[in-house]
Structure 1
Amino acid sequence: MEKKTTDKKKRQGKSPVKKITGWLHLWLGLVSGIIVLVVTLSGTMFVFCDEIIDLCGGSAKYVQAPAHAQKLSPEELLAQFHQQVPDRKAFYFDTYKEADRSFRVASATQPPKDKNKKASKKGKSKERGPRGVFAYHYLDPYTGKVIGSTKSYEFFYVVAHIHAQLLAGKFGKTVVGVASIIFFVQLIGGLILWWPKKWNKTTRTTAFKIKSGTKWRRKNYDFHNVFGFYSLLPAVFITITGLIMAYEILTNLTQEAFGGTKDAHKIAEKYEPQFDPDKKALTYAAFADKNFRKFPEARQFRMSIPRNDSATVYHVVAAQFIGLKSLEKGKSMEANKYTGEEIIYPEKVQRHEIIEHMNFDLHVGYWGGMFGKIFTFAIGIICTSLPVTGFLIWWGRRKKTPKKVTVNLSNS
């Protein structure tokens, strides 16, 4: 009788694969939990950065358009901006087709000149020196007056760099990369642990539904397992696209697999115009007019401001909406500063940009408009919760006192 009971327990116990997976799942989770929590939470916050930045702009995004008045040129508006805010340097601007939309300038605080010299001597960036604090300023396009500002740009810049490198440079990037690989392993391990030994009505209910009327520990366990399963495939996908951005070897493999090239920037330089001091650059206003005519559906135009006069390529975007790292129904391109025409790069270079942007859009949820953002945000919330619910499961079992076993010896 005793042998039969032992055999039954063996059959009902966990398999060696599940035991090893469970051990790895626990300790890898405890080691990487805090990092995964920070990375997933910051990534989730970034999803709606455009909407939040737009909200922070408030009423400064609009002006009362005077009758029959003409907007000042971007050059005039930028001159007015630097006059009113002399401690900042503009690096791109947004202008709009609508008469009542204000002119927006993206800028950074300028470091003191002595710091620039010091950085130059040490062999650091000779052009910019230490990075300044980013901000958006809104100007009345008819008068040039600064009517509002927001540092939401700086906030999401910091959030993005927490997500990518924990604000710790190369070391932080390595830590995030390792934590992301562990999270990928955790997702696969979670699926193995979730998979029922036998499929029946009871196991299906347990695997796919959160049981009602249970204590918080059980609910927490169900939440970890059930929502972990439902978010598995998109979470794996988001993790893989993140790893592609984090590791150059994966970036290059992705480029080669989809017909791009890893040397896109070097090749692109050969097709860019040479600096000619005798040639006059096209005005910013001419660039904007040219692109609004070329893309009549565009409502917004963005143009980068070159760091020095020797730059011959302007980055320009014309679209219905242009966000921090996104655009809707439009085009982003590199343009010749002398002619305003788009620079046509070889197909492999163009494909490189398409692959790079597509991977980013898939990672942050820009692939499906508002639906894509909401879906990615929901997955991000679940992924952020997994280290917390997993820790609570472990802590609950750790604190749980074992039940006393009474042995009936009357039948011995």
Structure 2
Amino acid sequence: MENKKTNPKKKQGKSLTKRITGWLHLWLGLVSGIIVLTVTLSGTAFVFCDEIIDLCGGNAKYVQVPANAKKMTPEELLAQFQRQVPDRKAFYFDTYKEVNRSFRIASATKPPKDKDAKKAEKPKDKGRGPRGIFAYHYLDPYTGKVLGSTKSYEFFYVVAHIHAQLLAGKFGKTVVGVASIIFFIQLIGGLILWWPKKWNKTTRTTAFKIKSGTKWRRKNYDFHNVFGFYSLLPAVFITITGLIMAYKVLTDLTQQTFGGIPDPHKITEKYEPKFDPDKKALSFTDFIDRNFKEVPEAKQIRMSIPRKDSTTVYNVVAAKFIGLKSIVDGKSREINKYTGDEINYPKEVLMHEVIEHMNFDLHVGYWGGMFGKIFTFIIGIICSSLPITGFLIWWGRRNKSSKKTKEIKNIHQHRKEEHHEQMV
């Protein structure tokens, strides 16, 4: 009698919570796996975009400095660029304090016809079309000669849009948003499934270590289980910052929580100078010289090139390093083109930009320099592996179950045949 009472306790299976969580974890993972894999891999690839773009620049990034030579003005260099590459339109340039660094121009191919000009003002999300193809060109700042170019800009633009919207516009953005929410649920569900029923030496070893000397199925399970746990907190953090960018309601809530304003563009125009055709704008050189003085640590300056003469505010970034979407030890400012003074926006408008950039830096790993990038890259690789290892766990169990079912059927068939022979 005692054995009958104690045996059920020994054979007690998973709790109802773990069974429900396990079912959700499996089917949500199978439904969203390919999308999550695409989003995490593209996001991981974007982490080192600045280093790869610099590498692609090669020797064109540097020049031999002629004796007693003087750098050409940005206006002269832009004119030289237009003459040598007439099928492209520049939209910003980078200049450097180092005398041997080349002048870099970001540009896009022009629309094939004038009637497409209006369409070009609203770039499509698919990485091609009226907006043209992005590229960086490197010019000798002393002669204006184009030294080389790289379309790595275009590559990472496409990668970023795969990550954000699968190159499918608003529909793709919705799909990525839903997949991100599912991934967040998967991470929480994974923690519930990982949590041992009892903590002892055996469960601690299983939960925190990958067992050596095991077959590939057990090894794959350990990779999914153990690495999934170690990457949990940063993965949750990266997912939340991504959701903040994906959903306006979360963006606005974040802005309001930290002292920003949801839509600053409604009030910025009040503080910007009015266009006056009789006034002359300062030269690009004036802006560059002034910003190098006001930001002493700056080694690089990026200036946007206004598309219209009526534009009265220039965006100027002065920093130690300026990447595709990163700023190291510096600042981005909106400057009056007539006076060179920074626009005195309200505090909440300035906070909007700070919060927006900070959230992006936290999402991509720019928060901690090279350490932050390496850390985020590793987490991205682990997150990219989770849909794969999870699928292999399911596939292995499915085949194992099918094999057992087949063996049982064979045994039953064999017994029927033996019984038939005895009857005969």
Q: TM-score, normalised on structure 2?
A: 0.92
Structure 2 match to 1:355: 355
- The CA deviation string for residues 253-297 of structure 1, in whole angstroms up to 9 with x for no partner, is 001111111121211121111111111011001110110111122
- Structure showing greater radius of gyration is 2
Structure 2 match to 1:397: 397
CA offset at residue 327 of structure 1? 1.1
- Equivalent pairs: percent with the same residue? 81
- 1:7 is aligned to 2:8: yes
Cα gap change, 1:169 to 1:348, in 2 (>3 Å): same
Structure 2 match to 1:63: 63
In 2, Cα distance between the equivalents of 1:268 and 1:117? Answer: 27
- 1:288 is aligned to 2:288: yes
Structure 2 match to 1:344: 344
In 1, Cα distance between the equivalents of 2:117 and 2:110? Answer: 13
Structure 2 match to 1:130: 130
Structure 1 match to 2:166: 166
After TM superposition, the structure 1 stretch with the greater mean CA deviation from structure 2, 379-388 or 265-274, is 265-274
CA offset at residue 342 of structure 1? 0.9
Residue 404 of structure 2 aligns to a residue whose secondary structure is: coil
CA offset at residue 112 of structure 1? 1.5
CA offset at residue 235 of structure 1? 0.1
Letter in 2 for 1:3: K
Structure 1 match to 2:229: 229
Structure 1 match to 2:112: 112
In 2, Cα distance between the equivalents of 1:293 and 1:275? Answer: 27
- 1:300 is aligned to 2:332: no
Structure 2 match to 1:81: 81
Residue 205 of structure 1 aligns to a residue whose secondary structure is: helix
In 2, Cα distance between the equivalents of 1:314 and 1:148? Answer: 27
- The CA deviation string for residues 342-372 of structure 1, in whole angstroms up to 9 with x for no partner, is 1121011111111100000000000000000
In 2, Cα distance between the equivalents of 1:149 and 1:32? Answer: 38
Equivalent positions of 1:7-406 (< 5 A) are: 7-11=8-12, 13-116=13-116, 119=119, 130-400=130-400, 401-402=403-404
Cα gap change, 1:387 to 1:257, in 2 (>3 Å): same
Q: Contact 2:111–2:117 at 8 Å: present in 1 too? A: no
In 1, Cα distance between the equivalents of 2:187 and 2:292? Answer: 47
- The CA deviation string for residues 69-116 of structure 1, in whole angstroms up to 9 with x for no partner, is 000000000000000000000000000111100000000000122441
Unaligned ranges ≥5, structure 2: 124-128, 412-424
CA offset at residue 7 of structure 1? 1.5
Letter in 2 for 1:385: S
Letter in 1 for 2:282: L
In 2, Cα distance between the equivalents of 1:118 and 1:282? Answer: 28
Cα gap change, 1:228 to 1:329, in 2 (>3 Å): same
Structure 2 match to 1:410: none
- The CA deviation string for residues 296-352 of structure 1, in whole angstroms up to 9 with x for no partner, is 221101000011100111110011110000011111111111111111210111111
Cα gap change, 1:310 to 1:377, in 2 (>3 Å): same
In 1, Cα distance between the equivalents of 2:118 and 2:68? Answer: 51
Q: Contact 2:70–2:142 at 8 Å: present in 1 too? A: yes
In 2, Cα distance between the equivalents of 1:285 and 1:182? Answer: 51
In 1, Cα distance between the equivalents of 2:254 and 2:88? Answer: 39
Q: TM-score, normalised on structure 1?
A: 0.94
Letter in 2 for 1:402: K
Letter in 2 for 1:8: K
In 2, Cα distance between the equivalents of 1:139 and 1:124? Answer: 29
Letter in 2 for 1:7: P
Residue 402 of structure 1 aligns to a residue whose secondary structure is: helix
CA offset at residue 8 of structure 1? 2.3
Cα gap change, 1:173 to 1:5, in 2 (>3 Å): same
Letter in 2 for 1:328: V
In 2, Cα distance between the equivalents of 1:354 and 1:15? Answer: 46
Letter in 2 for 1:167: L
Letter in 2 for 1:374: I
Unaligned ranges ≥5, structure 1: 407-412
Residue 223 of structure 2 aligns to a residue whose secondary structure is: helix
CA offset at residue 9 of structure 1? 4.6
Letter in 1 for 2:158: V
Q: Contact 2:224–2:390 at 8 Å: present in 1 too? A: yes
In 2, Cα distance between the equivalents of 1:317 and 1:124? Answer: 24
Residue 192 of structure 2 aligns to a residue whose secondary structure is: helix
